[in-house]
Amino acid sequence: MSIAEYDYTIIGAGPAGMAAAITARKHGLKVLVLDEQPTVGGQIFRNIEGLEKYRNSEFHKLGAEYLSGSKLVQQFHNSGVVYLNGRSVWQIDRDLGIHNVSTIPTDQKSSVPQFCKTKNLLIAVGAMERPMPLPGWTLPGVMACTAADVLYKSSGMIPQGKVVLAGSGPLLLLIASRLLDAGVKISAFLDTTPRGALIQALPYLPQALRSFGYLKKGLEMLWKLRTSGIPIYSGIQAIEALGNSKLEEVRFKKGMKHQEVSADLLLLHNGVVPNVQISRQLACEHSWYDVQRYWEPIVDDWGNTSMARTAVAGDCGRVSGAVISEISGHLTALDTVRQLGAITLKERDKLSLTLRQTLKNHQSARPFLDKLFQPTQNLIVPNKEDVLVCRCEEVTVREIRETVRLGFQNPDRLKSMIRCGMGPCQARMCGLTVSEIIADEKQISPEEVGYFKIRSPIKPITIGQLAEND
Amino acid sequence: MFKKQYESHETVTIIFEGKSLDVGIGQTVAAALLGEGHLIFRYTRVSGKPRAAYCLMGVCFECLLEINGQRNQQGCMIPVSDGMKIKRQMPPKGKIQ
């Protein structure tokens, strides 16, 4: 059987992936896009086509940024790209052989090729929420806050009962404001942003004013929240989810005082971090971004990583939101087009001039936002010893600390001793916390500690699927 | 915990734990189950405790279900289809708490 070969394979059909595909097609490349989700749009434009078609009034409620996605999706579909949805990439070889499977169990013997080769690769898999380990976060009824957004966009469902939001970050504000718009009664908003964060961020404000749109949007959301009449608690610490087989109560500390509110649903958020599973599996070099406390692949101005012919674009690099992701998708594709000889260096630079200017404008607010919404430190390393860090293998803070004290001081050695990071999520939910706990225990930076070595398969596959893969 | 704001334009029938459910087309298994009020997706292999879908975007692997006889399927990544048989993922016998 002949192996399918492409000039450019893009993983992820969010704003960055779609933009890159459009630009690459414009210059005649043979482009494949593999996306894990059932429909295009990534998380930000999730179910955009379904909403436009069947729930048009809600579609318009989601705001101008969401509406702009519709144009991008249309250009994407008309670009002549080969787009495969519902495909999970589980391994990428050093020579850019790409192994993938269908996410749909009944579809595993489909005719879609499960292996292909590509000249250049773009990783555009987006970001994920930073794990927010706290007592009781594995109880049914506790969810990541974007889960509420997913349910709203893809299924038209909204939370009911006693809904509590907790954490910090622009996304938490956005989701709170969406829920309010949808008529959800929020029982409590627990803001963990440390007092003083604003003062630390102030030096970056003048620069941020250049892209006033972001700040205006943020202020509007804050205003909506403040005037909504929902109970807002600021400077919150020591959040605990309590209940037997499901969430019943949320306990927290404000000042010196502990309080409880009863809850059916607790939505957590402590910022967004790049999804680095694929760039790590490929052994791209990563560096530690201390302000936001996450790893990001090291890239040049065009998104090229340390691995030849491999680039990243969008929030799986530095987390920057949909608009910047889209621009970075166009830019990285232009350089790929150049690498493959379809345009010259000069043409690339000329074609990217306007994009660079727009990018610069949009990026000016980021240092301010990143500083203002730094992840809350006491939510990164739980101060209670019996909190589960690794949800899959059920490993606690105590076990990790004790094992570090025994001398197992890097994530991989810990993994082989106590199985943290060995479950199906492959450290997506515990990796950052494990590095932070080791760093805390040794009083060094997570950068020195390092991260788990991410090995194939990065998505669980069956032995049968592995056997079929030749 | 969640309520539907509108009725879907088209439904399919899925079978969850032997019970037929008519659910809106175009959504994932996890969303459909939550919409029907089913919160618990699995009991863990280690402690036997109940777990529910957490992130709904393919990251956390908490919504692992048995779908059409295959274990370890991510409920949040798989769209519902007519006649789909879904079960909670159970640990080895005797572990459920």
Flag whether B5 is in a domain: no
Question: Which pLDDT value is given to residue A470?
Answer: 53
Flag whether A374 is in a domain: no
Q: Do A425 and B68 touch (CB under 8 A)?
A: no
Same domain for A171 and A60, yes or no, is: no
User: Are A193 and A376 in contact, with CB atoms under 8 Å apart?
Assistant: yes
Same domain for A69 and A170, yes or no, is: no
Last residue of a domain, one of A343, A359, A391: A343
Domain span at B41: 11-88
CATH number at residue B27: 3.10.20.440
Q: Please give, one letter per residue, the 3-state secondary structure of A350-402.
A: HHHHHHHHHHHHHHCCHHHHHHHCCCCHHHHCCCCCCCEEECCCCEEHHHHHH
Same domain for A136 and A266, yes or no, is: yes
Q: Who has greater pLDDT, A324 or B5?
A: A324
Q: Do A144 and B54 touch (CB under 8 A)?
A: yes
Is the preceding omega at residue A457 within 30 degrees of 0, hence cis? yes
Same domain for A17 and A94, yes or no, is: yes
Same domain for A152 and A215, yes or no, is: yes
Flag whether A242 is in a domain: yes
For residue A277, the 8-state DSSP code is H
Burial class (CB in 10 A: 0-12, 13-18, 19+), B7: exposed
What part of B 21-80 touches A (C-beta under 8 Å)? 24, 26-28, 31-32, 34-35, 39-40, 44, 46-47, 49-62, 64, 67-68, 70, 72-74, 76-79
CATH number at residue A217: 3.50.50.60
Contact residues on chain A for B8, CB-CB shorter than 8 A = 156
Q: Pick the closest to residue A365 from A124, A128, A201, A178 (CA basis).
A: A201
Flag whether B95 is in a domain: no
Same domain for A292 and A335, yes or no, is: yes
Tens digits of per-residue pLDDT, A238-280?
Answer: 999 999 999 999 999 999 999 999 999 999 999 999 999 999 9
Tens digits of per-residue pLDDT, A368-402?
Answer: 989 988 988 888 999 899 999 999 999 999 999 99
Q: Do A106 and B3 touch (CB under 8 A)?
A: no
| Domain count across chain B | 1
Contact residues on chain B for A157, CB-CB shorter than 8 A = 2-5, 31, 34-35
| Domain count across chain A | 3
Please report, rounded to a whole number, the percentage of residues in chain A having pLDDT higher than 70. 97
**Residue ranges, chain B, pLDDT below 70:** 94-97
Residue A283, both tokens: 């052994």
Question: Which pLDDT value is given to residue A219?
Answer: 84
Flag whether A457 is in a domain: no
Same domain for A122 and A147, yes or no, is: no
Q: Which residues of B71-93 are buried (b: 16+ CB within 10 A; e: fewer)?
A: ebbbbbbbbbbeebebbbbebee
Contact residues on chain B for A50, CB-CB shorter than 8 A = 26
Same domain for A149 and A45, yes or no, is: no
Same domain for A111 and A36, yes or no, is: yes
Q: Do B57 and A429 touch (CB under 8 A)?
A: no
3-state SS, residue A97? strand
Whose tokens are 């279900």? That residue is B65
- The Cα-based distances of A437 to A133, A236, A440, A443, B84 in angstroms read 12, 21, 5, 9, 42
Q: Pick the closest to residue B47 from A423, A173, A15 (CA basis).
A: A423
A314: left (phi over 0), alpha (psi -120 to 50) or beta: left
Contact residues on chain B for A144, CB-CB shorter than 8 A = 54-56, 60
Flag whether A63 is in a domain: yes
Distance CA A290, CA A374 (A): 9
Domain span at A167: 131-270
Last residue of a domain, one of A324, A343, A362: A343
Flag whether B94 is in a domain: no
Same domain for A248 and A334, yes or no, is: no
Flag whether B6 is in a domain: no
Question: Which pLDDT value is given to residue A455?
Answer: 92
